[in-house]
C-alpha cells in the first residue's frame, strides 16, 4: 500500500530530498502541539507558517525546473 504514496517515476534522490525537507517540520508540529495547550493562537500561526514554507519552496523548485537552461 505504501507504494501508492510515491510516484513510480520518482528516484531515490527525490525521495531522500523530500524526507530531509519534511523532517524538521514534523518536530515543529510536535512542539506546536505542546505550545497549543497554553497559547492556541501561537500554535495556529505556527501551523500556517510551516505550511507556507513547505508549499512554496516546492512550487519554486518546480517552476525553476520548467525554465529553459540559461546561456
Domain count, the chain: 1
pLDDT for 68 equals 58
Residue 60 lies in a domain: yes
Residue 46 lies in a domain: yes
Angle between helices 40-66 and 12-38 (to 10 degrees): 160
Residue 44 lies in a domain: yes
pLDDT for 13 equals 79
**CA distance readout (Å), 56 to 4, 52, 59, 71:** 24, 6, 5, 27
pLDDT for 23 equals 72
Residue 10 lies in a domain: no
Residue 17 lies in a domain: no
Give the range of the structural domain holding residue 40, as residue numbers without chain letter. Answer: 33-65
Per-residue pLDDT of the chain (71 residues; tens, 9 = 90+): 555 666 777 777 777 777 777 777 788 889 999 999 999 999 999 999 888 887 776 555 555 555 555 55
Residue 20 lies in a domain: no
Residue 11 lies in a domain: no
Amino acid at each position: 500500500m505504501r507504494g501508492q504514496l510515491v510516484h513510480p517515476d520518482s528516484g531515490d534522490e527525490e525521495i531522500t530530498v523530500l524526507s530531509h525537507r519534511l523532517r524538521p517540520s514534523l518536530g515543529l508540529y510536535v512542539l506546536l502541539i505542546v505550545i497549543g495547550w497554553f497559547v492556541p493562537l501561537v500554535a495556529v500561526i505556527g501551523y500556517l507558517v510551516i505550511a507556507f514554507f513547505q508549499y512554496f519552496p516546492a512550487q519554486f523548485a518546480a517552476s525553476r525546473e520548467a525554465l529553459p537552461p540559461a546561456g
